Amino acid sequence: MTPAIDLLRLKDKHAGAPPADGRPVIIAVTASNRRLVHDRCRRAERSGVQPGMPLAQALAVLRAPRVVERVPRRERALLRALAQRMLRFSPVVAPEPPDALLVDIAGCEHLFGGEAPMLARVRAQLARWGLTARVSVAPSPALAWALARFAHDAHLACPNGQAAAALAPLPLAALRLEPKAHQALAELRVERVEQLVALGRTGVARRFGLQVLLRLDQALGLAHHWTEAIVPERPLRCAVDFEGPTTRTETVQAAARAMLCDLCAQLLARGLGASELTMSFARCDLEPVELGLTLTRPSAAPAHLWRLLRDRVASLHMGFGVEGVRARAFRTAPLRTRQGTLEQGDRANGTTDEPTCEPTRNQRWHELLDALATRLGPARVCTLERHDSHDPARCVRRRSVLDAPDAHPAPHPAPHATPHPAPHATPHLASCPARQHRPSQLFEPALPAQVIAATPDGPIHVLRWRDHAGPVLTCVGPERIEGEWWRVATPHGLRAADGQSGHDYFKIQDDRGVWLWVSRALDDGRWSVRGAWA
């Protein structure tokens, strides 16, 4: 059976959706300080925009085009994703960067009623995804590639046995020759493949190299054309169904653990770690129970995941019995692995409960954060991050560790790495006052206080707060910090809302020796203790 290959050419891949607003789309690329047209949509093509044209020229030709910058990484990802989707037509799909897909439909076409209906379906499907593609069928991959690019629309499908006839009228670029050979042939005014064939094989091989003949043979299906087919991505899930409902805790736990191990083995095979996963327990006559798990860092260690889930599985409400257990990884990320030692390599298969190698301190740290966040709740384990504000109560924000996966201390620097500066040296940190002028602890909320001062703006002499009242030994201040007037604008002008006005801050030492940060609101004169140097 002759392999027939489809070849797709992606055009509007950057635009995502087809341009509904009717504006032409140009993909721009910056090459040596010039902005050039990398690719264009059909409309722009009709207006005469060609790849390689300066962008300024294209902008002059078109009316209000949409210019998109080329992102090669995104192109590759899109091609891979499209290859996964094309698996519905054939099990063998090979991406051919930068913009082609080879689909081996040998033996698949009868499932769709033949070659022509299949091509129609492929085209329709691609159009539904918003992609403009040229789809061709040929006995060899190289010919299909050439036909999709250079053939006339009426000759996109090449029947078996007519490869030579289909190839003959194509331009020489269809063979993808080396630039040197291509240029040498062009100097001889060899423009089409049939002219090259007419030169004779021996002469061509001697004058332009064997590679030209190889390309020709590949296009004719006489030589092999190597492609790399993608591996079908199965969804990361595994499930087990019991023969009947069970209420035995041990059975359910063992099944859950086995599913976790299976899932981790799948993850490890792809070099991934799960950062969000769920375990679902199907119950008899009841809705299933979902146990979700979010991690601070992707992990594929079954022992660690089981430690986090064990208590929750043990306290599961099983109802009339559990019928099945399934595990699914929702969000994954590449796993940063470390090479183990030689003797560790033997047990490093990931399917056992033992860790593949001794976890690093960094791994242990993240496992601890996972354990804390799972048991206490994500809101109760948080990091601090700076916020751009001069208000002392608002310049630091708390954030759950699960929301800020990269907010932790950097892992231990590699031995060859130079000691990096502090990772949290944000620019506005420098504008903050020196840290000795800020208390070590901030009371949230501020505690109300009563104060006796000789003069309204003068130093404080007596302070009363909590259950303590006494004279003030030292009073430093005031330091006035205005509120953020831009946060609330009242109808009467730019007056801050309650609790957001400016404050006069005093650093005082009470008669017990404790240094406190006392403030007076500027709008209503309320006194409060804001923090302490404890």
Partner 1 sequence: MNPYTDSTARPDLEALLGSTAASFQAFEGLAASHSNTTHAHTYRTSHAHTFPRPTPGSVHEWLLDTNHTLTSPTSPTTPTTPTTPTTPTTSNNWLAPITMLAWLAAGTPSSTSSTRPSSARPSSTRPRRVLWIGRRVWPYLPALPRALHAPILVDPPDLRQRIWAIDAALRCPGVDAVVADASGLDLTATRRAQLAAAAGRTIGLLARPISELRALSAACSRWRLTPTTSTSTCSPTTTTTDCAPGWHAELLRCKGVRPTQGAHRWRVRIDHETGDVRVADDPGDRPVEAQGQARGRTAG
Apex 36 CA angle, 32 and 41, nearest 5: 155
How far is CA 434 from its chain centroid? 38
- CA separation for the pair 315, 13 (Å, rounded): 49
CB of 250 to partner 1, least distance (A): 25
Helix (H, G, I), strand (E, B) or coil at 28: strand
Burial zone of 266 (CB within 10 Å; 0-12 exposed, 13-18 middle, 19+ buried): buried
CB closer to partner 1 out of 348 and 407:
407
With binding defined as CB under 8 A, does residue 298 bind partner 1? no
Which regions of 50-135 does DSSP assign to beta strands (E)? 66-69, 92-96, 100-104
CB of 439 to partner 1, least distance (A): 6
Helix (H, G, I), strand (E, B) or coil at 469: strand
Structure tokens at 231: 């591996």
With binding defined as CB under 8 A, does residue 112 bind partner 1? no
Structure tokens at 425: 């040296």
Confirm if 109 and 120 have CB atoms less than 8 A apart: no
User: Quick one: which of 438, 464, 495, 526 contacts partner 1 (CB under 8 A)?
Assistant: 438
CB closer to partner 1 out of 81 and 514:
514
Confirm if 157 and 122 have CB atoms less than 8 A apart: no
Place of tokens 């423009």: 191
- CA separation for the pair 282, 289 (Å, rounded): 7
Amino acid identity for residue 13 in this structure: K
Helix (H, G, I), strand (E, B) or coil at 465: strand
- CA separation for the pair 213, 58 (Å, rounded): 39
With binding defined as CB under 8 A, does residue 310 bind partner 1? no
Helices 141-150 and 210-220 sit at what angle, rounded to 10 degrees? 90
How far is CA 323 from its chain centroid? 35
How many Cβ atoms from other residues are within 10 Å of residue 99's Cβ?
Answer: 17
How many Cβ atoms from other residues are within 10 Å of residue 241's Cβ?
Answer: 11
With binding defined as CB under 8 A, does residue 445 bind partner 1? no
CB closer to partner 1 out of 91 and 377:
377
- CA separation for the pair 384, 397 (Å, rounded): 6
With binding defined as CB under 8 A, does residue 81 bind partner 1? no
Partners of 441 in the beta sheet?
Answer: 532
With binding defined as CB under 8 A, does residue 34 bind partner 1? no
Confirm if 522 and 498 have CB atoms less than 8 A apart: no
Residue 335 φ/ψ, nearest 5 degrees: -90, 130
CB closer to partner 1 out of 84 and 400:
400
CB closer to partner 1 out of 31 and 384:
384
CB of 490 to partner 1, least distance (A): 30
The interface region with partner 1, picked from 91-99, 154-162, 411-419, 491-499 by CB under 8 A, is 411-419
CB closer to partner 1 out of 416 and 466:
466
With binding defined as CB under 8 A, does residue 85 bind partner 1? no
Q: Per-residue x/- marks for partner 1, 488-527, CB under 8 A?
A: -------------------x-x-xxxxx------------
With binding defined as CB under 8 A, does residue 42 bind partner 1? no
User: Quick one: which of 84, 227, 383, 389 contacts partner 1 (CB under 8 A)?
Assistant: 383
CB of 315 to partner 1, least distance (A): 16
With binding defined as CB under 8 A, does residue 434 bind partner 1? yes
Q: Which residues inside 360-379 make contact with partner 1, applying CB under 8 A?
A: 360-369, 371-372, 375-376
With binding defined as CB under 8 A, does residue 271 bind partner 1? no
The interface region with partner 1, picked from 68-76, 87-95, 248-256, 403-411 by CB under 8 A, is 403-411
User: Quick one: which of 333, 357, 432, 481 contacts partner 1 (CB under 8 A)?
Assistant: 432
Q: Per-residue x/- marks for partner 1, 248-267, CB under 8 A?
A: --------------------
Structure tokens at 336: 């940063």
User: Quick one: which of 120, 410, 452, 489 contacts partner 1 (CB under 8 A)?
Assistant: 410
With binding defined as CB under 8 A, does residue 422 bind partner 1? yes
CB of 501 to partner 1, least distance (A): 21
With binding defined as CB under 8 A, does residue 229 bind partner 1? no
CB of 363 to partner 1, least distance (A): 7
Q: Which residues inside 450-489 make contact with partner 1, applying CB under 8 A?
A: 458-461, 466-468, 470-477
The site for partner 1, by CB under 8 A, has a size of: 72
CB closer to partner 1 out of 127 and 384:
384
CB closer to partner 1 out of 247 and 441:
441
Q: Which residues inside 318-357 make contact with partner 1, applying CB under 8 A?
A: none
With binding defined as CB under 8 A, does residue 48 bind partner 1? no
First-to-last alpha carbon distance for the chain, in angstroms, is 84
Helix (H, G, I), strand (E, B) or coil at 317: coil
Q: In what order do the strands lie in the sheet with 92-96?
A: 92-96, 100-104, 5-9, 136-138
CB of 424 to partner 1, least distance (A): 4
CB closer to partner 1 out of 65 and 273:
273
- CA separation for the pair 313, 210 (Å, rounded): 66
With binding defined as CB under 8 A, does residue 74 bind partner 1? no
With binding defined as CB under 8 A, does residue 402 bind partner 1? no
CB of 493 to partner 1, least distance (A): 31
- CA separation for the pair 308, 302 (Å, rounded): 10
CA distances for 116 relative to 109, 135, 157, 234, 493, angstroms:
9, 11, 8, 30, 73
User: Quick one: which of 198, 396, 452, 489 contacts partner 1 (CB under 8 A)?
Assistant: 396
